[in-house]
Chains A and B, each alone.
Chain A
Amino acid sequence: MTGANTAINLSVFGIFVLLTLYVVYRVSTRNVSASDYYAAGSSFTGTQNGIALSGDFLSAASFLGISGAIAVNGYDGFMYSIGWVVAWLIGLMLISERLRNTGRFTMGDVMAFRMRQRPVRAAAANSTLVISLFYMIAQMAGAGGLMALLLDVHSKIGQAIIIAVVGIVMVLYVLVGGMKGTTWVQIIKAVLLILTVSLLTIFLIGKFGFDLSSILDRATQRSPLGEAVLSPGVKYGASDLSKIDFISLALALVLGTASLPHVLMRFYTVPNAREARKSVVWATWMMAIFYSCTLVIGFGAMALVGTDKITNAPGGENSAAPLLAFQVGGTVLLGIVCAVAFATILAVVAGLTLTASASFAHDVYANVIKHGEADPRDEVRVARITAVCVGVLAIAGGIAANGQNIAFLVALAFALAASANLPTLLYSLFWKRFNTRGTLWSIYGGLTSCVLLIIFSPAISGSKSSVFPDADFAFFPLSNPGIVSIPLSFLAGFLGTIIGGEKADAAKQAEMEVRGLTGIGSGLR
């Protein structure tokens, strides 16, 4: 990129990595028990965990992807911001407190609470692994594209090496720090990200005389679409089908957030339900501030850099925020923004690795293979080995998917979470009759229908922007499957329960309901 100062970028990023590794090393000397590794001994406060939650959630897709989507598509890009803020209300009111009270380490703890343990835990682990890997590959792919832009690394081999380095550092965080170290990485990164974004926003608003209208006015002049960028429909308004795609995306955004496994797992790092609630309140404030800023940054980039320059830059849409930073603050600010973007990818991927490894070790190894009688030390060892395997898979997947659109890939992960996890969680928390068969039907029904619809969608084949542009087996017309697979999963859970299988365990249901609302029997204070 013109004027990119590789030395500054690299050194700011290097300082971040060294600092966080040092912090991870310092906080994690006594990192031995399963509870320490998975849930940081539940020792974080609501405030700390709230900041870490926003760190875990605000991925490179949020920062680079959304500001870019707004800078290019205007209004239709803004949709992501809104969905991802509103979604936290589901986490706040329906999920967080009950999850903290009923589970210990994983999503499987809650789903299997009153069901037959082995099949349900296996299903929960499958869904966690699929979603985490999907999300992770999206992030890693983004890292490669970013590097092209920020460090002037253009060869595929160079980018592959960088993806591998990101993967190795993140596995180090997880192995050395467990949940405690990873949480501190999230906190540091979230503070850096929010500070950078807010300062950039305040600067932009100030530059335009504290008048939002004049930013928009200027933006419309620099966009080839003119006034249309301020109205809905630029990206999704073309046909009836694209409008349904838009609604489908909007549904996945709002329903997927609170059922992402790495977000769910964060609620176990606090000591009780009240702190879990406080975490979501903090996270919601951070999200509200962050996503309001993306609106200004997106339109600001459109106004100051211009849409054409952004779409023609090496990173495409994703380069909007870095280009804007370069425009207003030169190489130093560019270096900072780039480093923050790297830090974001690194931290999110670390959180996902930890979640995937916990789910495999706790649900599959300890409960399915060892029937709940695994030595906790073995369990942690299995989790660590899994973390390395997941890291290797993510590096390989990231290299393979290098160059794909990150915000879009991430949106698919949300559709998966909303389809496989949300119906199951809501049913098991709120519906007395829900049984093992219903649970399995809703998890597998949502997961497989969503995966199949993605495979046969235009995202994979049949159009220029597909993964396989030359093949065409896209008989499902929508690029986001949520509008079909989410209701389907609700229906499958309902039918599975109604049609038969064993009756719900009434005693366990009583325990789960009482425990979910009050924490009685959980040992939590």
Chain B
Amino acid sequence: MTKALPSVSRPATPGFATFDEPHHSLLIDGDGEPDFDAIQTSEDFLALKRRVKRFILPATLLFLAWYVTFVLLSAYAAEFMSTPLFGTVNVGLTMGFLQIVTTVIITMAYSRYSKRQLDPQVDKVRALVETDEELA
């Protein structure tokens, strides 16, 4: 993004603390509001974005591909989907049930990943601005 654009309705004063304002942490602007431009380019925030992307991009592509495969096979490979697997239960019904199972697995994996990898990083980013909010 271009930082040259004028920011709307927010004072353009850069948010860097001086020794006169000991309560201000780095990423808060002159009015004590979070300086979003500075946060957006901060190392901690970029690390958070990378971690988010590392999970949701492959996971989303994976489950969509798996779902579309199932739908296409159901539409165009009915023969294959009707192959019996055990008793009267065929490939299609099993695959359909597995869609539900994988949904639960991905959900739990994301929940676990968030708790371990994302939430602590969110707290780190929030700490960049929180000093001031708490004192205010």
Contacts and interface: CB of A to CB of B under 8 A. Distances in A.
Interface of A: 75, 78-79, 81-83, 85-86, 88-90, 92-94, 211-214, 216-217, 220, 227, 230-233, 236-237, 243, 246-247, 250, 254, 274, 277-278, 280-281, 284-285, 288, 291-292, 295, 432, 503, 505-511, 513-515, 517-521
B107 A281 contact: yes
A246 B86 contact: no
- What are the 6 A-B residue pairs with the smallest beta carbon separation, nearest first? A213-B87, A507-B7, A231-B82, A232-B74, A510-B36, A216-B88
A15 B110 CA distance: 40
Contacts of B10: 507
B83 to A, nearest CB: 9
10 contacts: A75-B92, A93-B110, A211-B87, A212-B89, A230-B93, A295-B97, A507-B10, A518-B48, A518-B122, A518-B125
Given A75-B81, A213-B86, 12 more contacts: A85-B100, A93-B110, A213-B87, A213-B89, A237-B75, A284-B103, A288-B100, A295-B93, A295-B97, A507-B8, A511-B36, A514-B36
A88 B1 CA distance: 32
For the residues of B in contact with A, the DSSP-based class is: helix
A159 to B, nearest CB: 35
Nearest to B40: A510
Contact of A213 (B1, B82, B88): B88
For the residues of A in contact with B, the DSSP-based class is: helix
A520 B75 CA distance: 46
Nearest to B128: A520
Nearest to B90: A230
A327 B64 CA distance: 39
B60 interface: yes
Given A213-B88, A217-B88, A285-B104, A506 B2 contact: yes
Interface residues of B, number: 57
A280 B104 CA distance: 11
Nearest to B52: A517
A521 B92 CA distance: 48
B96 interface: yes
Given A231-B82, A505-B8, A519-B122, A89 B60 contact: yes
A216 B85 CA distance: 13
Contacts of B100: 81-82, 85-86, 288, 291-292
A64 B92 CA distance: 23
A216 B89 contact: yes
Given A89-B103, A520-B39, A231 B122 contact: no
